[in-house]
Amino acid sequence: MPVPSTYRPTHDPTEAEQIVGDLYLPHRLHLPPGVNDVQLELSAAHFGQVTAGVLGYGRAVGMTTEPLVDFHVDLPLRGTVVLDDGRGSRTVATPGHAGVFDPGAPASLDWSADSKQLCLMMPRSVVERELEWVLGRSLPTPLSFHFDLDLRTGPGRGWWSVLRLVLDEITRPSGLVERPGVVRHVEAVVLEGLLQAQPHNLTGLLLREEDRPGSAGTVARAVQLLRDRPAEAWTTARLATEVHLGVRALQEGFKRDLNTSPMGYLRIVRMHAAQVALLSSDPGTTSVREVAARHGFLHAGRFAAAYQRTYGELPSATLRRSS
């Protein structure tokens, strides 16, 4: 599994086109009159089939692409970028306000000199397969997202909390992307998060899922799956598919029977497994971060805080007691 890569800085616009084009897609850069160089900054990583990179040019530049083959999401981290999807939609993207590009048309982007973006690329087949998991059926038509994406409120804000983990791993690598299980989990939550957070032409199918909560027996089967296979890259959609239930029905069943969500219950299971692992590990050869990552907790600080709320002590204290 590849580790995050920081690409060699370059001032040559042609070389910058080649570097970024090899990672994402072919395109051309357009510089203002009298400007003949850029200050390319690019770090990127692959989370399964999801490509994520932090990109900036250090100049006000324009970009025109060839027709897109994959879904792309552009999220400014600073500055502004004018996004045009080539289909008549145009928006001024800023931190907290992004754009989702469908495959099929060329795009254009106008970057401010101070802009830097988190750029995501996801193959159409992978995103649509994830939606089929959620729906439990084949798609009646190709998937198409709304263009403007609000990351400040509602479901978009929740998705941004997931993307911050991706961003942290790109900019401050911890080695998590070298763990296949972690990579599968990150890929799944990024894809499912986008499908739930951003309206699309098939959102109506998600909203028309069976609302009646699953039976107690169905919830019990889901609980057993989580207990038996806690390390698996579970999402609510995958769990619902395993027990032949809609996502909304599974969520309501867990709320009724356990007063939590499926993923909330999974965190409880994983937290207990992490405690057992800490108590049985050698503090001389094992770190809290390693145990947390092994049990699906990607952010060590948040894991430590949650662990302390649950068990009344930091995980490092538990690990020390194991010696």
Please, which pLDDT band fits residue 196 given cuts at 50, 70 and 90? confident
Same domain membership, residue 163 and residue 42: yes
Alpha carbon 57 to its chain centroid, in Å, reads 24
In a domain, 205, yes or no: no
In a domain, 282, yes or no: yes
Lowest mean per-residue pLDDT among 146-150, 170-174, 208-212, 310-314: 208-212
In a domain, 199, yes or no: no
What sign has the CA pseudo-torsion 199, 261, 304, 189? negative
**Domain end call among 171, 191, 206:** 171
Closest CA to 218 of 240, 243, 251, 247: 243
**Domain end call among 171, 200, 216:** 171
How much of the chain exceeds pLDDT 70, in percent?
A: 93
Q: Alpha-carbon distance 278 to 306, whole Å?
A: 15
In a domain, 136, yes or no: yes
- Six-digit token string for 282: 């050698």
Same domain membership, residue 148 and residue 23: yes
Residue 58 pLDDT:
96
- Six-digit token string for 144: 């198409």
Residue 208 pLDDT:
62
**Domain end call among 151, 171, 191:** 171
Same domain membership, residue 290 and residue 146: no
CB-based burial label for 323 (10 Å; 0-12, 13-18, 19+): exposed
Please, which pLDDT band fits residue 49 given cuts at 50, 70 and 90? very high
Residue 188 pLDDT:
86
Please, which pLDDT band fits residue 2 given cuts at 50, 70 and 90? very low
Same domain membership, residue 45 and residue 166: yes
In a domain, 191, yes or no: no
In a domain, 44, yes or no: yes
DSSP per residue over 193-231, as a string? HHHHHS-BTTHHHHHTS--SPPPHHHHHHHHHHHHH-TT
Residue 316 pLDDT:
93
Domain region containing 307 = 266-321
Same domain membership, residue 11 and residue 143: yes
In a domain, 251, yes or no: no
Q: Alpha-carbon distance 42 to 56, whole Å?
A: 7
Does residue 176 surpass a pLDDT of 70? no
In a domain, 39, yes or no: yes
How many structural domains does the chain have?
2
Question: pLDDT (tens digit, 9 = 90+) per residue, 92-129?
Answer: 999 999 999 999 999 999 999 999 999 999 999 999 99
Please, which pLDDT band fits residue 1 given cuts at 50, 70 and 90? very low
- CATH assignment of the domain containing 47: 2.60.120.10
- CATH assignment of the domain containing 273: 1.10.10.60
